[in-house]
Amino acid sequence: GVGSGEIYMPLHTLASALLAATTSAVSPALPIDVIRTRLLNYNGFTYTSSVVPASAASPALPPVVLLPPIGVGIDRTFCRRLLEAWAIASPSATLHAIDVIGMGDSSPKPRMKRRLL
SS (H, E, C) 32-95: HHHCEEEEEEECCEEEEEEEECCCCCCCCCCCEEECCCCCCCCCHHHHHHHHHHHHHCCCCCCE
The residue among 113 and 59 whose pLDDT is bigger is 59
Alpha carbons 45 and 67: distance in angstroms, whole number: 17
**Cβ contact 30:84 at 8 Å:** yes
Under 8 Å between Cβ of 54 and 61: yes
pLDDT at 24: 41
Q: Which amino acid is at 39?
A: L
Per-residue confidence band for 114, with pLDDT thresholds at 50, 70 and 90: low
Over residues 26-51, the pLDDT tens digits come to: 444 555 578 888 888 888 888 888 89
Question: Residue 95 forms beta bridges with which residues?
Answer: 52, 64
**Second-level CATH architecture of 33-109:** 3-Layer(aba) Sandwich (3.40)
